Chains A and B, each alone.
Chain A
């Protein structure tokens, strides 16, 4: 059984309502399907506006699709009641692109990372503190950073805090929604290496959403991108091989015709 299975998702955004015009509908996703096995990763690639982030939101349970199913660990995410969906979220976490807007500016790093722990694990305050210190260490920050506010961190450090928050519940899968796109190359590399290490340590699955084709192809210092690009990219896109879901609707097909706008979904076993 797959960890995550997305079946035939169709979604569109309605333009704003007005009295004297017909409501415009902007289709975003049409019939997208994919699946991720436990412990493997999937790269989701597309130019901006292709619907990557919308698909990410649908998978995370933040945006109800108009058609289709999201099945996580054998259960339909949109058919279950609120309580069991909350339980499901333990295993499905996210790291967004913009590290600054993903944290509440009025909370310290400690409180930010503590939030998922408070909601799911009833820990005593010393245990919780220890858990947070442990998480900070895993993502390469120190204990002294606990009491700092988001404005005192750099973008890369803040992204590490976001990763620590996503890791706090030991999830099965993390959606990385353009998680490294807004960072400079050096920081990108270190964060990608960190993600690679954490993956092997915890047996995580990633859904790796990115638009960044050329910049990432120019350098391949780290294994994550190495495999992502050189090992599987052309093979999977153009031969429509195993695990690839490329018949994902008109928008995506259209964009995929030009190599610099390659759009599609690739699956690669690690």
Chain B
């Protein structure tokens, strides 16, 4: 087993390291209540902006909260909600893309022109617009990002379904008496999903960036809940005296997003999937 893993990862050290980083982050985000040294939202003004100590390994912020605990809890928010966005937008994209590709005709035209319409806006502008409409808050951000991202999945899935629909094994299934629903369930979706998952890995990195960016702008998660983008935002006032307040969450975002991108790139190289469309 170990030798097999070794063989698979041979010469792919970047991929291996990034997977390791992500596995660690995911474990942390699940186990954080047990491994965080302190309560992340416990305010103690007497201990504000402390240097690293045994009790506070990375020091405290301007309200005396433990930096390390806040970073660890931030992983939970970022990864958790990025995964949620991924799953939800993939779900919508799968339904819309399969419907459009399989049925064709005016349904296809209608749905795809709608997607084109959404894609015509710059993503961030559209997200800001939706969040502005719904009001700030994490769930609003999640909904807004979802509403923007499903379009890319839908388009890509639709393209794959259209080309796969013409293949002989679909015709053979039809002649074998399978219903449309069975053909979709048994032949189309299992063949469409794996490359889409690869694209999803890349989109995860973007989702984390977007959540953080919106939190930085004060539209996403609201204080005191710890989130990396929001932490960077809070740290801006202490940029001169305590730059680490911005540095730590910035590094976290950097590591996670780079890991997702490198994994996504190498997977898409292997599967021959192009990013977007």
Q: In the complex, are the beta carbons of A106 and B168 less than 8 A apart? A: no
Bits for B168-185, please: 1 = Cβ < 8 Å to A, else 0: 110111111110001000
Interface size on B, residues (CB 8 A): 16
Q: In the complex, are the beta carbons of B168 and A98 less than 8 A apart? A: yes
Complex Cα gap A94–B168 (Å): 10
Q: In the complex, are the beta carbons of B167 and A115 less than 8 A apart? A: no
Q: In the complex, are the beta carbons of A104 and B187 less than 8 A apart? A: yes
* Min CB gap B185→A, angstroms: 12
Which residues of A are found within 8 Å of B178, using beta-carbon distances? 115, 119
Q: Does B266 contact A (CB under 8 A)?
A: no
Complex Cα gap A162–B173 (Å): 11
The A-contacting residues of B in range 134-178, CB under 8 angstroms, are 167-169, 171-178
Instruction: Point out which of A57, A89, A90, A104 has the most chain B C-beta atoms below 10 A from its C-beta.
Output: A104
Q: In the complex, are the beta carbons of B175 and A103 less than 8 A apart? A: no
Name the one of B167, B176, B190 contacting A116, with C-beta atoms under 8 angstroms.
Answer: B176
Name the one of A57, A90, A104 contacting B191, with C-beta atoms under 8 angstroms.
Answer: A104
Can you name the residue of chain B whose Cβ is closest to the Cβ of A62? B171
Q: In the complex, are the beta carbons of B169 and A94 less than 8 A apart? A: no
Q: Does B113 contact A (CB under 8 A)?
A: no
Q: In the complex, are the beta carbons of A162 and B172 less than 8 A apart? A: yes
* Min CB gap A149→B, angstroms: 13
Q: In the complex, are the beta carbons of A105 and B175 less than 8 A apart? A: no
Q: In the complex, are the beta carbons of B172 and A94 less than 8 A apart? A: yes
Q: Contacts A115-B176, A120-B177 known; A101 to B168 CB distance under 8 Å? A: yes
Which residues of A are found within 8 Å of B191, using beta-carbon distances? 104-106
Q: In the complex, are the beta carbons of A102 and B168 less than 8 A apart? A: yes
Which residues of A are found within 8 Å of B276, using beta-carbon distances? none
Q: In the complex, are the beta carbons of B176 and A101 less than 8 A apart? A: no
Q: Does A96 contact B (CB under 8 A)?
A: yes
Q: Does A93 contact B (CB under 8 A)?
A: yes
Q: In the complex, are the beta carbons of A103 and B169 less than 8 A apart? A: yes
* Min CB gap B42→A, angstroms: 51
Bits for A199-212, please: 1 = Cβ < 8 Å to B, else 0: 00000000000000
Interface size class of A (residues with CB under 8 A): 20 to 34
Complex Cα gap A154–B119 (Å): 45
Name the one of A101, A103, A105, A116 contacting B177, with C-beta atoms under 8 angstroms.
Answer: A116
Complex Cα gap A120–B171 (Å): 17
Q: Does B274 contact A (CB under 8 A)?
A: no
Q: Contacts A104-B187, A106-B191 known; A60 to B167 CB distance under 8 Å? A: no
Complex Cα gap A60–B173 (Å): 12
Name the one of B172, B174, B182, B186 contacting A103, with C-beta atoms under 8 angstroms.
Answer: B172
Complex Cα gap A107–B176 (Å): 15
* Min CB gap B168→A, angstroms: 4
Which residues of A are found within 8 Å of B168, using beta-carbon distances? 96, 98, 101-102
Which residues of B are found within 8 Å of A62, using beta-carbon distances? 171, 174-175
Name the one of B167, B175, B190 contacting A92, with C-beta atoms under 8 angstroms.
Answer: B175
Complex Cα gap A103–B191 (Å): 12
Instruction: Point out which of B173, B175, B187 has the most chain A C-beta atoms below 10 A from its C-beta.
Output: B175
Name the one of A60, A101, A106, A107 contacting B175, with C-beta atoms under 8 angstroms.
Answer: A60
Which residues of A are found within 8 Å of B171, using beta-carbon distances? 57, 60, 62, 94, 96, 102
Complex Cα gap A57–B175 (Å): 11
Complex Cα gap A61–B174 (Å): 10
Q: In the complex, are the beta carbons of B167 and A101 less than 8 A apart? A: yes
Q: A60-B175, A101-B167, A165-B172 are in contact. List 5 more A-B contacts (CB 8 A).
A: A57-B171, A62-B174, A103-B172, A104-B173, A104-B191
> What are 12 A-to-B residue pairs whose CB atoms are below 8 Å?
A89-B175, A89-B177, A93-B175, A96-B168, A101-B169, A104-B169, A104-B187, A116-B176, A116-B177, A119-B178, A120-B177, A169-B177
